[in-house]
Structure 1
Amino acid sequence: MTSTVDYAVVVPTIGRDSLWRLLNSLANAHGPQPAEVIVVDDRPNPEPLGPTPIPVRVLTSGGRGPAAARNVGWQATECEWIAFLDDDVVVSPDWPERLAADLARLDAKVAASKARITVPLPTDRAPTDAELGTAGLAQAEWITADMAYRRSALAEVGGFDERFPRAYREDAELALRVLDQGLELTEGERSTTHPVREQGFLASVRAQRGNADDALLRHLVGAGWRERIGGQPGRLRWHVVTTGALVAAVGFGLAGLRRGGTGAGSLAGRRVGVLAGLRTGALGGTRATTFAGKRAEALSGTRAATLVGKQAGAVVGKLASAVAGPRAGAHARRQAGALVGALASHRTADETAGPVWPRRAALVAGLVWAGLTTEFAARRIRPGPRTPDEIARMVVTSVIIPPMACLHRLRGELRFWRVRR
Structure 2
Amino acid sequence: MSGASGTSGYAVVVPTLGRPSLDACLAALAAAEGPPPARVVLVDDRPLDDCHPLPVQVPPRLADRVETVPSLAGGPAVARNTGWRAVKEPWVVFLDDDTVPGPYWARELTADLAAAGPGTAAVQGVIDVPLPPDRRPTDWERGTAGLARAAWITADLACRREALESVGGFDERFPRAFREDADLALRLMDAGWQLRHGRRHTTHPVRPAPGPWASLRAQRGNQDDALMTRLHGRDWWTRARAPRGRLPRHAAVTAAGAGAIVALACGGRRVAAASVLGWALGTGEFAWKRIAPGPRTVEEIRAMVLTSLAIPPAACAHWLLGWARHRTARPWTAPQARPRAEGDAEAGAGADADAVGREAA
* TM-fit CA distance, 1:157: 0.8
* Correspondence for 2:21 among 15, 18, 21: 18
The DSSP-based 3-state class of the residue aligned with 2:118 is coil
* Correspondence for 1:230 among 238, 241, 245: 241
The DSSP-based 3-state class of the residue aligned with 1:192 is strand
Deviations 1:220-272 (A, max 9, x none): 1111000011112321111011111111222333344xxxxxxxxxxxxxxxx
Which residues in structure 2 correspond to 1:207-286 (within 5 Å)? 207-256=218-267
2:53 paired residue number: 48
Matched, 1:123 2:130: no
* TM-fit CA distance, 1:62: 1.6
* Correspondence for 1:177 among 183, 187, 203: 187
* TM-fit CA distance, 1:13: 1.2
The DSSP-based 3-state class of the residue aligned with 2:79 is helix
1:273 paired residue number: none
Structure 1 counterpart of 2:58, which letter? P
Q: What residue ranges of structure 2 are gaps of 5+ in the alignment?
A: 333-361
1:406 paired residue number: 316
Find the aligned partners of 1:222 and 1:44 in 2 and give their Cα distance.
34
* Correspondence for 1:203 among 214, 217, 236: 214
Find the aligned partners of 1:21 and 1:369 in 2 and give their Cα distance.
46
Count the aligned residue pairs: 319
Find the aligned partners of 1:83 and 1:89 in 2 and give their Cα distance.
13
TM-score by length of 2: 0.85
Find the aligned partners of 1:51 and 1:143 in 2 and give their Cα distance.
24
After superposition, the Cα gap between the structure-2 partners of 1:50 and 1:125, relative to the gap in structure 1 and judged at 3 Å, is closer
Deviations 1:152-208 (A, max 9, x none): 111111000000000000011111111111111111110000111112201111110
The DSSP-based 3-state class of the residue aligned with 2:68 is strand
Find the aligned partners of 2:215 and 2:288 in 1 and give their Cα distance.
15
**Structure 1 contact 3–101 (Cα < 8 Å) conserved:** no
Matched, 1:371 2:286: no
**Structure 2 contact 81–169 (Cα < 8 Å) conserved:** yes
Find the aligned partners of 2:5 and 2:173 in 1 and give their Cα distance.
38
After superposition, the Cα gap between the structure-2 partners of 1:122 and 1:51, relative to the gap in structure 1 and judged at 3 Å, is closer
* TM-fit CA distance, 1:51: 4.7
The DSSP-based 3-state class of the residue aligned with 2:131 is coil
Deviations 1:72-131 (A, max 9, x none): 000001011000001111111211111111112222111111100111011211111111
Find the aligned partners of 1:389 and 1:162 in 2 and give their Cα distance.
37
Deviations 1:330-387 (A, max 9, x none): xxxxxxxxxxxxxxxxxxxxxxxxxxxx233222222211111011101111111111
**Structure 2 contact 47–72 (Cα < 8 Å) conserved:** yes
Deviations 1:302-336 (A, max 9, x none): xxxxxxxxxxxxxxxxxxxxxxxxxxxxxxxxxxx
The DSSP-based 3-state class of the residue aligned with 1:147 is strand
TM-score by length of 1: 0.74
Find the aligned partners of 2:175 and 2:27 in 1 and give their Cα distance.
28
Find the aligned partners of 1:50 and 1:4 in 2 and give their Cα distance.
31
Find the aligned partners of 1:249 and 1:360 in 2 and give their Cα distance.
9
**Structure 1 contact 42–63 (Cα < 8 Å) conserved:** yes
1:58 paired residue number: 68
Deviations 1:41-68 (A, max 9, x none): 1122343114522332111112111001
2:77 paired residue number: 67
The DSSP-based 3-state class of the residue aligned with 2:73 is coil
Find the aligned partners of 1:72 and 1:53 in 2 and give their Cα distance.
20
Structure 1 counterpart of 2:323, which letter? E
Structure 2 counterpart of 1:113, which letter? V
2:149 paired residue number: 139
Matched, 1:386 2:296: yes
The DSSP-based 3-state class of the residue aligned with 1:52 is coil
* Correspondence for 1:34 among 33, 37, 49: 37
**Structure 1 contact 111–183 (Cα < 8 Å) conserved:** yes
The DSSP-based 3-state class of the residue aligned with 2:43 is strand
Find the aligned partners of 2:92 and 2:12 in 1 and give their Cα distance.
6
The DSSP-based 3-state class of the residue aligned with 2:275 is helix
**Structure 2 contact 30–36 (Cα < 8 Å) conserved:** no
The DSSP-based 3-state class of the residue aligned with 1:138 is helix
